[in-house]
Structure formats: C-alpha cells, structure tokens
Amino acid sequence: MINKEDITEYIPQRPPIVMISRLLEAGDKNIRTGFDIAEDNVFVQNGTFMAPGLVENIAQTAAARIGYLAKKHNVPVPLGFIGAIQNLEILELPLAGTSLETEIVIEHEVFNATVIHGTVKQNGRLMAECDMKIFVSQNK
C-alpha cells in the first residue's frame, strides 16, 4: 500500500528513528504496518531488537493512522504525543534481519485524545502488546 520511501509523509519521525517500513492496511479504526529490522537499527543490541523499539513501533503505527487520515482529508499531518502506556507486555524480543507486523485498534476517541491497543507479531506469533493514550495537536 505505502512503502518505505513514502512512509515518512505519514509520520513525524525521520531516520534513524523510523520504526515502520510500510503501511499494509488502513481504516478509520485500525491500521497495520510492516517493519523490517535492520542490523544497524538504533534499537538493536547484540542482534536483538530491544523493548523500546517495539514500543516505538506501536507508537509510529498509531502515528501512521493519523497521518493517513490527514492525507485522505487533504489536511496537514498533525503531531501526536504519547500520554500514557499501560498493560505493556513484551513476550519475546525479535532478532535483527526479521520482519514484524503491527496493528493498532482504536478503543476510544474523545476530542484530541485517542486510546489504542497495539499488537506486534512476527510470523503470527505475538511479540508485544500494550494500550496507549495519544494526544494529537490541533492544526491551526
């Protein structure tokens, strides 16, 4: 759907902090992204993609949804900020050189606050999940 070269049009992050490679599916209440973990990724230590990278991957997937909807409605892509992370479970740390698939589902949206549930999987196996509260800045 959207590849690595174009993904930065939808998220505020720039290399080397980009933690999604492509947008796989987008809807009003969910989004799925793919991410290829490079050996030289800033969150890779001793060949393993560390927990902060998994959390950032979920956050950027949520940001990609906001960016996708903004582009769809021809408005500037707003900035978002993580307000809280809850129920974080890291079940397994993936290895560098592998790929992840991340999905976020909207639980609640009120004004500029969104609560999402995010899951990160590798070959269908759950690696991590959490709930995030995200605040989106209002475009002026």
**Total-model pTM:** 0.94
pLDDT band at 137 (very low <50, low <70, confident <90, very high): confident
Domains of the chain: which residue ranges? Answer: 7-136
The fold of the 7-136 domain, in CATH, is Thiol Ester Dehydrase; Chain A (3.10.129)
Which of 11, 113, 115 has the alpha carbon at shortest distance from 61?
11
> Residue 5 pLDDT > 80, yes or no?
no
**What's the rounded Cα separation, in Å, for the pair 77 and 138?**
10
Residue-wise pLDDT for 54-112, tens only, equals 999 999 999 999 999 999 999 998 988 999 999 999 999 999 999 999 999 999 999 99
Range 105-114 contact pairs with CB under 8 angstroms and sequence separation of 24 or more: 105/29, 105/30, 106/28, 106/29, 106/30, 107/131, 112/136, 112/137, 112/138, 113/83, 114/62
Instruction: Tally the C-alpha atoms within 13 A of residue 1's C-alpha that lie toward its C-beta.
Output: 15
Distance between CA atoms of residues 38 and 35, nearest Å: 9
